[in-house]
Every structure is written in C-alpha cells, then in structure tokens.
Chain A
Amino acid sequence: GDSVTQMEGPVTLSEEAFLTINCTYTATGYPSLFWYVQYPGEGLQLLLKATKADDKGSNKGFEATYRKETTSFHLEKGSVQVSDSAVYFCALSDDSWGKFQFGAGTQVVVTP
C-alpha cells in the first residue's frame, strides 16, 4: 500500500539556519503530495502541495518539489524563524476522496 517516510525529529536549529526535512513515498498511482504543519496547541494546517511530477509547492518561504524519479518531496526553508517551530507532516493522497497517508511527523525547534 501507499506509505510516507519522513526524517525523524526533533530537529533543532538556530534562527536563520537552513531547514531541510526529507520525505519519500511509495505509491501505486500518481499521488498528490502535501506538507502539513501543526503549530503548538493548534490543528493541522496545509502548508503547501504539489499535484504532479516536477511541480514545486511554496508558501511562507517553504518549498518542496515533487520528484517522481526519486519519489521524494523534501521540505526546505532558507532561513527559519522561531515562529517556524512546529511539527511538520508529509502526506500523500492517491485519490480524490480525502484518504491520506501521513508520515510520522518531524518536530522542528528553532532557537533564537
């Protein structure tokens, strides 16, 4: 079945550092790929998405490119802020009926 694997956390960074969170997937079809973020005390929010190979999703300075050849969707941000401290989930959806597979989540802690 479909699955998502993302790097374990916690990832601790200093403010303005470069952030990468690796995400790889297995899927039988052509999934859409997502990154969700969960800030402390809040629900999950969509951060960005890509629906086909070579698409780049971007939002709030974060980027991720859908790489079909490496089945990856790594999340990057060039300069993190303390406010980026959160748990980040990589996810895929292989159909249009809301059935998602989520990665285990990666906690990111950004220190001043």
Chain B
Amino acid sequence: SAVISQKPSRDICQRGTSLTIQCQVDSQVTMMFWYRQQPGQSLTLIATANQGSEATYESGFVIDKFPISRPNLTFSTLTVSNMSPEDSSIYLCSVEGALGTGELFFGEGSRLTVL
C-alpha cells in the first residue's frame, strides 16, 4: 500500500485567487491522479500526472484552470486557478497500487471552500 499526504487538508479561499495543493507519496510511483469530489457528488478524474511529461486532462478540465506539476516520482501539485464558488470541492490525490492490482490509494483530500 501507499501512504499519501496532502496539504492543505482544508482551506477557505476568496474568489479570483489561486491555491496549490501538494501531494506527497511515501514511495515512487509512475502515475498520480487528481480527482475532484463536489458536494454530494461522486469523484471525477481531473487529470493523470506522469513524471517528466505534461499531465493528461480529462474532458471538461484544462491546464489553464488546473495546472499540475510532477517534478519527481513521489510528489505532485495541483493548482486551482482563478477560483469561483463552483470550485468548492474536495480534491483528492491518488496513486495506483502494485502493477496489475488495479487498486487506487487515496490521500485524505483537500477540502476547498471558495467564498
């Protein structure tokens, strides 16, 4: 299993500002995934982040709004840019388990509230 730490765990932000969420994994992983969990809704994949290449974004998500960094095999950041109240969500970092198991391990999430 992997231990994933996210910072901040929660924050209250003002409209129009940006916030960067950090994700640290206790082991080297090839792929890291960023999910969003809007209030009362399911998890939606934002993007997949590989080390050394640009993140791959899912439909409806763009790099200008959610820039992602992946400087090494244990760390990634997600920035939520120019925030609006609609961005109020829990943002989750996840990594895949051992090759072939198909499992995902999740951080505890970063709960953002945009006023």
Contact = CB atoms under 8 A, between A and B. Distances in A.
Contact of B106 (A32, A43, A96): A43
Contacts of B33: 98-99
Contacts of A93: 102
A105 B92 CA distance: 15
B31 A100 contact: no
Nearest to B41: A104
B103 A49 contact: yes
Given A42-B108, A43-B106, A43-B108, A104 B42 contact: yes
Contacts of B41: 104-105
B70 to A, nearest CB: 14
Interface residues of A, number: 22
Interface of B: 4, 31, 33, 41-45, 48, 92, 94-96, 99-100, 102-109
30 contacts: A32-B102, A34-B102, A34-B103, A36-B104, A36-B106, A43-B4, A43-B106, A43-B109, A44-B43, A44-B92, A44-B94, A44-B106, A46-B104, A46-B105, A49-B103, A51-B102, A89-B42, A96-B102, A97-B31, A97-B96, A98-B31, A98-B95, A100-B43, A100-B45, A102-B43, A102-B44, A104-B41, A104-B42, A105-B41, A105-B42
